[in-house]
Every structure is written in structure tokens, then in C-alpha cells.
Amino acid sequence: MERQQSLEDTEHAERKESPTSHKGFVSAASEVLHEVAEKTREFAHEVKEKFTGHVTDHDISKATNHLDELRGQLAQEQHELREIQRQALLAEQTLNLKDYENLKEQEIKAKKTERATEIKIHEANDHLDHLLYEHRLHQLRQKCSEREHHHASSSTHPPTLTPPHSPKIFTMPVPMN
């Protein structure tokens, strides 16, 4: 019984001593879940495109909003990076090496996050370009289809042409005062 209590006390003490490892785990798990959700949304969108065959204005709007959100996120990350760099410079000037080392580690992490966001922006921009291309292509196909339909319906009724020997009459609109 004492041994079990001792093991429980040791585990409890270890959990108290390493809150950062728990936070790191939660952060990593959160990141993985975010990526899974994003991939799921992308997959659902691809499936929808295959079934409907075209991109909606709503899809384009969502992609534009997503791109804007990522750009805002990047701006925030860049601001935070500049602040970390400013604090690191101050710590270096005051010879506070412990803070300087911590801030340099934060700077490295912030730069990695910034690069990841830049990649996401590039991908989101490519996705938006693709959606716009597909949307425009769909519109052009619709116009071609309408023209073909119009041409097919007009070909069933031969057009009435003016015989070459008859005079052509042009009328000009008369302004009414």
C-alpha cells in the first residue's frame, strides 16, 4: 500500500514538474487536429466539385475570406516576431543572457510559424486562382451551351432573308420634341 502511494506521489510530482511538456503535447495535438480538419474540408470540397461540376460564388467567397484571414494572421505573426526581436536586442544590450537565449528560441519558433503561414497563404492563393479559373470556365461553357442551343433552335426555322434584288430600307429614329 505504501509503495503504491509512493508511486502515485512520484507521478503527481512529475506532472507538477513538467507543465510545459503537457502544454507542448496539447499544442501539438491541437495543431494535428487543425490540419486534419483542414484536409477534411478540402476533401469535402473536392467531392462536392466532382458531384456538382462547378464552383459557386460562395466557394469563391469562402476562399477569399480564408486568404484574407491568413494574411491577417501573417501580419500578426510578423508583428510578434518584431517584438521578440526588439526584446532580444534589449536583453543582449543589458547582458541578460538567460532572457536573450529564451527570446532567440522564441524568435526561431516565430520564424518557423511565419514560414508555415506564408506557405498556407501561397496554397490558399493557388486554390483561389483555381476556383476562379473553374468558375470562369463553367461560365464560358454555359455561354457556349446557350449559343449552341440558340443556334440549334434557330436552325429548325430557316431565317427569312431579304432577296438580293429587293431594296433595303433603313429607318432613322426621329427625335420627338
pLDDT (tens digit per residue) in 80-103 = 999 999 999 999 999 999 999 999
The phi-psi region of residue 68 (left if phi > 0; otherwise alpha if psi is between -120 and 50; otherwise beta) is alpha
Residues whose CB is less than 8 angstroms from the CB of residue 78 and which lie 6 or more positions away in sequence, other chains included: 114
Cα separation values, 70 from 56, 64, 73, 81, 121, Å = 21, 10, 5, 16, 6
Ranges of H-type helices in 18-96? 19-52, 57-93
**Do residues 124 and 67 make contact, with C-beta atoms less than 8 angstroms apart?**
yes
Please, what's the b/e burial string for 111-132 (b: 16 or more CB within 10 A of its CB; e: otherwise)? eeebeebeebbeebeebbeebe
The reply to whether the predicted model has a pTM over 0.85 is no
pLDDT in tens, 25-37: 778 888 888 888 8
